[in-house]
Amino acid sequence: MHRFDTLFLDRDGVINKKLDGYVCDFESFKFMPDALMAISKLSKIFKRILIVTNQQCIGKKILTPGKLSDIHNQMLSEINKHSGVITKIYYCPHLINESCNCRKPKNGMIQQALFDFPEINVENSYLIGDSDSDIEAGNSMNLSTVKVDNKYTLASWTRSLTNINC
């Protein structure tokens, strides 16, 4: 059933449209075109899908961890309604100038996922992101990486991976 092991997804710019500022409530969270259908299809061919997202809006005190959790729960609810499954969400709350190991391009969130799911087969896993820091984090862990944007989206990649229209 599962052709691939683990799919790591960035959030902003991959699952939802990237804003000039921050997604501070679910009303400003807008899914990328066909992202829900893509995640549904990807859920059938990957053993697990994990989100790895930088959220320095928490470090800036623009958003609380609880409010971020509310946004994520509503996002997961919509994904589930479309038969998609997200196994776990990892986020880095730190400011860009802090010396954490989790903020991409560092790979601490991916390392934590490998600790949480030691059965992950890195050689058969992907990271999809829209920024150079996403791709750098994935490459540093030997994941296959794909950079998406507003034209080549998660749905576009899903179509090329599965040869099925989303």
Is the pTM higher than 0.85?
yes
Active site residue 12: yes
Which residue out of 12, 34, 130, 134 is catalytically annotated?
12
- Percent of the residues in the chain that have a pLDDT greater than 90, as a whole number: 93
Would you state the pLDDT for residue 1?
A: 59
Q: Where are the alpha helices (DSSP H) in the chain?
A: 35-45, 56-59, 65-81, 108-116, 132-140, 154-162
pLDDT at 166 exceeding the cut of 90: no
Q: What is the CATH number of the domain that holds 44?
A: 3.40.50.1000
What is the total count of domains within the chain? 1
Catalytic residue among 5, 10, 130, 134: 10
Q: Give percent of the chain with pLDDT exceeding 70.
A: 98
Task: Give residue 96's domain range.
Answer: 4-162
Kindly state the average pLDDT of the residues 1-28.
94
Examine the pLDDT at 96 and tell me if it is beyond 50: yes
Average pLDDT over residues 104-126: 98
CA distance 137 to 1: 28
